[in-house]
């Protein structure tokens, strides 16, 4: 079976390192301008060069997002940004506007171009158009069903690659091209500044039918009529591989390094298992799906892959089944002690989980040494502290997670 590229988000250097450590084949991230995540950390010129270097030295690829729609008075800056990205060695630029694509083909001809999902590509003539413009890959609209993806690939052949989103947040708008934020807040989602008003809570009634409320789903967190569920295509990985997709994309440049690590690691293990044994993949699917619940998420479904979603608008708030407590910054030494960056409080005796590229294993927390003072402690609630703790087999970049706690009660209990 041909296994597609696993493409992970990198909103900053920490997320980039997490994506690479936990098995991404490629990462995508934005510069300070012209991407569609203006409030992610993103990469300045030197950071971009370093990000590309880190990807390339491990045999991975880095794609830069340039999928904002530039106005005429921005085209010179747009071309300059593309030249800067090309000089940094990026493997492709992700662009949405057909005019901007043709413009970059003339201004920076050596820069490979991938067509953004913002271009709303749903048919073969559009793919052929982008191929004629010299594009190497098209990222399909999320509205494409599995049958249509398969048929599209059969029609166009292998002359241009197809990419599809496989996991993460979705917009209640055509391929994410939504003007709701621009109208309500003056911040345009098509300029990378979305305020996510589709995630806000609303009460809806039709003007001429007072007292007759539209049926909506709500919970104790509120009502989320306009908010699409998250996407999770883990159960459909065999079908996506068979359909001829070249790249599977995880959404999340605004997400944490822990989220990137959990989701990337889960899909990496799933794809590797699928490559070896399809039946074994099916047997392990419940466990791998449960792993995705360990990071912050909302209710999910398979989007449009199997037809229109059955429950549009039914999306609750965020939750997770595990909490990020520490990152390994220096591997375990001969005595088994590793150096850790504390993220959240945990206690000696806690049952924790060590996340590694090979999988997740249980460990028991012990007392640890606080590097700043040299004192031995059983708990500490100051994020950013460096500690040393017995953790045999841990490697730099691995992560520790534990039970989700009420930290206010924990602090009251310990006096910290």
CATH of residue 393: 2.40.30.10
Say yes or no: 153 and 246 in one domain: yes
**Looking at the domain assignment, is residue 276 inside a domain?**
yes
In a shared domain, residues 333 and 229: no
pLDDT higher than 60, residue 409: no
31 is written with which tokens?
A: 């510069």
Residue 121 DSSP symbol:
-
Domain count, the chain: 2
Cα torsion 199, 318, 326, 413 to 10°: value is: 120
CA distance 359 to 361: 7
Q: What letter would DSSP give residue 175?
A: G
pTM, full prediction: 0.87
> What residue has token string 């609209």?
141
Q: Is residue 373 part of a domain?
A: yes
Residues 256 and 350 in one domain: no
- For residue 99, what are its two tokens? 């005019």
- Tokens at 260, concatenated: 């990137």
Tens digit of each residue's pLDDT (9 = 90 or more) over 43-79 = 889 999 999 999 999 999 999 999 988 999 999 999 9
377 burial class (0-12, 13-18, 19+ CB within 10 angstroms)? middle
Same domain, 27 and 123: yes
Q: pLDDT for 256-314, tens place per residue?
A: 999 999 999 999 999 999 999 999 999 999 999 999 999 988 888 898 899 877 655 55
pLDDT of residue 171: 72
| Residue range 8-48, pLDDT digits in tens | 999 999 999 999 999 999 999 999 888 666 555 678 899 99
**Backbone phi, psi, residue 2, to 5°:** -80, 120
pLDDT by residue (tens digit) across 78-98?
999 999 999 999 999 999 999
Bigger pLDDT: 167 vs 171: 167
What tokens appear for 211 in the block? 């007292």
**What is the residue range of 333's domain?**
323-414
Instruction: Pick 183 or 239 by higher pLDDT.
Output: 239
The verdict on 146 and 291 lying in the same domain is yes
Would the pLDDT of 142 be above 80?
Answer: yes
Q: How far is CA 92 from CA 15, 78, 286, in A?
A: 19, 15, 35
Q: What CA–CA distance (Å, rounded) separates 150 from 256?
A: 33
- Are 274 and 349 members of one domain? no
Verify that 78 and 182 share a domain, yes or no.
yes
- Per-residue pLDDT tens for 106-119? 999 999 999 999 89
Tokens of 95: 């662009």
Q: Are residues 11 and 139 in the same domain?
A: yes
* 310 occurs within a structural domain: no
CATH number for the domain that contains residue 133: 3.20.20.380
Which strand (E) or helix (H) includes residue 61? Answer: strand 61-65
State both tokens at 140: 């399909």
Q: Look at residue 228 and tell me whether its pLDDT is greater than 80.
A: no
CB 299 within 8 A of CB 231: no
């Amino acid at each position: 079976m041909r296994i597609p590229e696993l493409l992970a988000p990198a909103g900053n250097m920490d997320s980039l390192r997490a994506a690479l450590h936990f098995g991404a084949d490629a990462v995508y991230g934005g510069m300070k301008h012209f991407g569609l995540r203006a409030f992610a950390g993103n990469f300045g010129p030197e950071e971009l060069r370093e990000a590309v270097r880190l990807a390339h030295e491990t045999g991975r690829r880095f794609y830069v997002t340039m999928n904002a729609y530039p106005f005429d008075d921005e085209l010179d800056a747009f071309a300059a940004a593309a030249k800067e990205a090309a000089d940094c060695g990026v493997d492709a630029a992700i662009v949405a506007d057909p005019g901007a694509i043709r413009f970059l083909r003339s201004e920076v001809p050596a820069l490979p171009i991938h067509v953004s999902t913002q271009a709303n590509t749903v048919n073969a003539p559009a793919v052929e158009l982008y191929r004629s413009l010299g594009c190497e890959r098209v990222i399909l609209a999320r509205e494409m069903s599995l049958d249509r993806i398969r048929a599209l690939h059969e029609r166009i052949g292998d002359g241009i690659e197809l990419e599809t989103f496989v996991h993460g947040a979705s917009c209640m708008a055509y391929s994410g091209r939504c003007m709701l934020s621009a109208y309500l807040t003056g911040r345009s989602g098509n300029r990378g500044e979305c305020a996510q008003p589709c995630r806000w809570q609303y009460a809806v009634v039709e003007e001429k039918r007072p007292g007759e409320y539209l049926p909506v789903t709500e919970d104790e967190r509120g009502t989320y009529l306009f908010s699409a569920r998250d996407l999770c295509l883990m159960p459909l990985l065999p079908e996506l591989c068979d359909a001829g997709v070249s790249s599977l994309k995880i959404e999340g440049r605004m997400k944490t390094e822990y989220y990137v690590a959990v989701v990337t690691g889960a899909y990496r293990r799933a794809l590797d298992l699928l490559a070896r044994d399809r039946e074994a993949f099916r047997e392990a699917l419940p466990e791998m799906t449960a792993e995705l619940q360990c990071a912050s998420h909302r209710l999910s479904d398979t989007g449009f892959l199997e037809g229109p979603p059955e429950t549009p608008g039914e999306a609750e708030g965020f939750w997770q089944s595990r909490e990020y407590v520490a990152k390994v910054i220096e591997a375990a030494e001969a005595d088994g002690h590793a150096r850790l960056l504390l993220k959240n409080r945990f206690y000696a005796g806690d049952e924790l989980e060590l996340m590694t590229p090979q999988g997740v294993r249980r460990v028991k927390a012990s007392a640890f040494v606080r590097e700043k003072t040299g004192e031995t402690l059983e708990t500490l609630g100051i994020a950013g502290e460096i500690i040393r703790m017995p953790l045999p087999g841990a490697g730099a970049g691995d992560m520790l997670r534990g039970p989700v706690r009420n930290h206010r009660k924990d602090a009251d209990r310990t006096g910290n």
